[in-house]
């Protein structure tokens, strides 16, 4: 009986140590996957703009404390404009999507005490920084509008998807709490 109790107590100790680590690893994995999914959606929009020879992009709409994004294309030859999207002149080309639909516990946001990817102090909570129109536009020549999209998990996982305007390049970076800096993901 004593041996059985010893075995049970050892197993309980191992489980007590392993479960929090597993939860943290799962949160990190989901958040990283969500950031790369978003980067892939932006890369698809860039390729779509080049193939269609017209502006293609993602429009971000606030939904509660999160954002929904929708694929749109220029339909009247004047680039992507929020007014044209609302009127239907720039049509929706992809169904609405949200990160939380694919990645449980992941949303747009910046965790407290994390500076933004440009080095500004913590405290700004707007996670979609693509201009006031909330449109991230990819041009037919391969360039794009610039912006940064912040993705966070339930725990301490924090990623940013950055779009560089002149090249249209999409980068995913992760906040490293040990270095207190953003690093390539």
Position 69 in a domain: no
Domain annotation covers residue 152: yes
Strand (E) or helix (H) holding 21: helix 2-52
Q: In the predicted model, is pLDDT for residue 21 greater than 70? A: yes
Question: In the predicted model, is pLDDT for residue 36 greater than 90?
Answer: yes
Number of compact structural domains in the chain? 1
> Residue 14 — very low, low, confident or very high, per pLDDT cuts 50/70/90?
confident
Name the 3-class secondary structure at 138. Answer: strand
What would the pLDDT profile of 89-125 be if each residue is shown by its tens digit? 999 999 999 999 999 999 999 998 899 888 776 666 6
The verdict on residue 36 lying in a domain is: yes
3-state secondary structure at position 7 = helix
- Token digits of residue 134: 């909330």
Q: Is the pTM of this model over 0.75?
A: yes
- The DSSP call for residue 70 is E
Range of the domain at 110: 2-51+99-184
Mean pLDDT of all residues in 40-68 = 95
Residue 66 placed within a domain: no
pLDDT at 9: 85
Residue 80, domain member (yes or no): no
Residue 116 has what DSSP assignment? P
Mean pLDDT, residues 149-164: 95
Whether 148 is covered by a domain: the verdict is yes
pLDDT at position 77: 93
User: pLDDT, tens digit, for every residue of 128-152?
Assistant: 999 888 999 999 999 999 999 999 9
Does residue 62 form part of some domain?
A: no
Q: What is the pLDDT of residue 116?
A: 87
* 109 inside domain: yes
User: What's the chain's average pLDDT?
Assistant: 91
- How far, in Å, CA of 34 to CA of 128, rounded? 15
């Amino acid at each position: 009986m004593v041996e059985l109790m010893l075995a049970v107590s050892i197993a309980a100790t191992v489980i007590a140590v392993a479960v929090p680590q597993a939860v943290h690893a799962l949160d990190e994995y989901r958040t990283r996957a969500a950031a790369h999914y978003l980067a892939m959606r932006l890369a698809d929009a860039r390729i779509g703009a080049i193939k269609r020879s017209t502006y293609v992009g993602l429009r971000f709409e606030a939904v509660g404390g999160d954002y929904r994004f929708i694929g749109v294309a220029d339909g009247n030859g004047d680039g992507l404009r929020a007014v044209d999207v609302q009127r239907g002149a720039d049509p929706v080309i992809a169904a609405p999507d949200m990160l939380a639909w694919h990645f449980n516990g992941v949303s747009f946001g910046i965790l407290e005490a994390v500076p933004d990817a440009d080095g500004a102090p913590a405290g700004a909570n707007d996670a979609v920084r693509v201009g006031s129109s909330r449109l991230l536009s990819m041009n037919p020549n391969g360039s794009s509008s610039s912006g940064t999209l912040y993705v966070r998990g339930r725990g301490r996982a924090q990623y940013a998807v950055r779009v560089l305007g002149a090249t249209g390049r999409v980068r995913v970076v992760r906040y490293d709490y040990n270095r207190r800096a953003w690093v390539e993901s």
